[in-house]
């Protein structure tokens, strides 16, 4: 078979170009540490790497989400601790104020301290993160959630919070709304409230009361009326008599009806009344504000002051209990973020290892291959140079 000079040259150059391309590819693998850069280099491997990279990117985003949520939750936890300490201090002041021997000036001094604490509680409710976003505003993180007007505090935030995905199958609340933390708290004992009649002339006060049998409780406004210092009757909102009884003003005692009981202390006068009504809702702010109003009043009787302070103490306890519940929830979410972060880090290490096994260069094998390719190219070049000098006239004498 006859091979033309042109064909010989073309074949030789193609072979050398192929060897040069191989050397270039091997050098790139050694310099980048990657055995292939595109799907053309390894279609199956690139598909696997792309899939692993997507999982790695998602995991990294979950970590970022968790970091943001964790930061906000830690800030919220501190704010809740501050609010708890403040309300506990307010409770101590209320106990101090619940002393009939205090003068009006002394009660006013306590009211002044409580007024300062009310402002501090509002400030805690308006806590922000490092970006100026309000912690307790829910979705409306750019809106100041609590506005104070005198003794009244209103909530302007949202009633829902952002959900953050911290793992493939787990989402958590990144915060809590101010309405769930400070507002919408049950008034009284949570079931009913008690009050002393405004025109009472006796010295008897009434405690917040308890529920003894929830199934017998019928929500209604009940009035306890004393016909004299010992005899009383209980009527419902329609005026119908529910029960009657005798009260011992010396030793005190309880009045029970419809699955509840209330304790009175002191001596009632004829026609004195006490009210038992279904509990509505109040707020931590309204509780402090009401307590302040009670202590500042110059018209309330001792029995009314005692009763209202007792109500305030019960409502402060309810606020503290609610803060404790929210704190426990926040702590649980912080722990969930921590666990998710740890799991994500382990998963990212595994994913990166898998990518490395598929795509990373085997330096020993690549170096050996490069040496072989360079030798082959040198041999090809030398062979081509030698053969290209040959001519038929070299053999003609």
Distance CA 274, CA 190 (A): 18
> Mean pLDDT score of the chain, rounded to an integer?
84
Shared domain for 238 and 334, answered yes or no, is no
- Is 352 a domain residue? no
Q: Return all residues near 62 (Cβ < 8 A) that are at least 6 apart.
A: 165, 166, 167, 168, 340, 344
Higher pLDDT, 8 or 207: 207
- pLDDT of the residue at 39: 55
Query: What is the domain extent for residue 239?
Result: 192-279
Distance CA 140, CA 133 (A): 9
Any bridge partners for residue 277, and if so which? 193
* Sign of the alpha-carbon torsion through 84, 90, 93, 98: negative
Look at the chain and report how many structural domains it folds into.
3
- pLDDT of the residue at 397: 47
- Is 306 a domain residue? no
Q: Return all residues near 51 (Cβ < 8 A) that are at least 6 apart.
A: none
- Is 302 a domain residue? no
Express each pLDDT in 261-287 by its tens digit: 999 988 999 999 999 999 989 999 999
- pLDDT of the residue at 341: 78
Shared domain for 97 and 19, answered yes or no, is no
Classify residue 183 as exposed, middle or buried by CB count within 10 Å of its CB (0-12, 13-18, 19+). Answer: buried
Express each pLDDT in 31-79 by its tens digit: 566 655 555 556 665 666 567 667 667 767 778 878 888 899 999 999 9
Express each pLDDT in 205-250 by its tens digit: 999 999 999 999 999 999 999 999 899 999 999 999 999 999 987 7
């Amino acid at each position: 078979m006859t091979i033309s000079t042109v064909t010989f040259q073309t074949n030789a150059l193609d072979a050398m170009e192929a060897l040069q391309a191989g050397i270039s590819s091997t050098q790139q693998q050694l310099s980048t540490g990657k055995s292939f850069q595109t799907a053309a280099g390894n279609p199956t491997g690139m598909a696997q790497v792309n899939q692993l990279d997507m999982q790695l990117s998602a995991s990294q985003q979950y970590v970022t989400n968790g970091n943001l949520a964790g930061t906000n939750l830690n800030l919220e936890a501190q704010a809740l601790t501050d609010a708890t300490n403040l309300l506990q201090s307010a409770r101590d002041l209320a106990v101090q104020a619940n002393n009939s021997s205090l003068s009006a000036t002394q009660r006013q001094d306590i009211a002044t301290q409580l007024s300062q604490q009310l402002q501090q509680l509002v400030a805690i409710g308006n806590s922000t993160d490092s970006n100026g976003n309000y912690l307790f505003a829910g979705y409306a993180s750019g809106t100041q959630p609590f506005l104070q007007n005198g003794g009244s505090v209103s909530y302007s935030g949202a009633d829902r919070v952002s959900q953050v995905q911290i793992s493939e199958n787990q989402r958590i609340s990144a915060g809590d709304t101010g309405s769930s933390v400070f507002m919408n708290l049950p008034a009284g004992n949570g079931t009913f409230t008690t009050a002393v009649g405004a025109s009472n002339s006796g010295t008897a006060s009434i405690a917040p009361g308890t529920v003894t049998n929830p199934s017998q409780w019928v929500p209604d406004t009940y009035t306890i009326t004393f016909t004299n210092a010992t005899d009383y009757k209980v009527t419902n909102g329609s005026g119908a008599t529910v029960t009657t009884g005798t009260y011992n003003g010396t030793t005190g005692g309880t009045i029970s009806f419809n699955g509840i009981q209330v304790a009175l202390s002191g001596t009632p006068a004829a026609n004195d009344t006490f009210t038992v009504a279904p509990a509505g809702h109040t707020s931590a702010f309204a509780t402090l504000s009401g307590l302040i109003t009670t202590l500042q009043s110059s018209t309330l009787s001792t029995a009314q002051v005692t009763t209202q302070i007792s109500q305030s103490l019960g409502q402060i306890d309810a606020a503290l209990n609610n803060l404790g519940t929210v704190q426990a929830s926040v702590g649980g979410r912080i722990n969930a973020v921590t666990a998710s972060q740890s799991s994500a880090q382990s998963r990212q290490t595994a994913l990166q290892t898998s990518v490395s096994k598929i795509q990373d260069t085997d330096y020993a094998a690549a170096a050996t291959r490069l040496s072989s390719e360079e030798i082959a190219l040198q041999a090809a070049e030398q062979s081509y140079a030698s053969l290209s000098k040959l001519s038929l006239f070299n053999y003609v004498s």
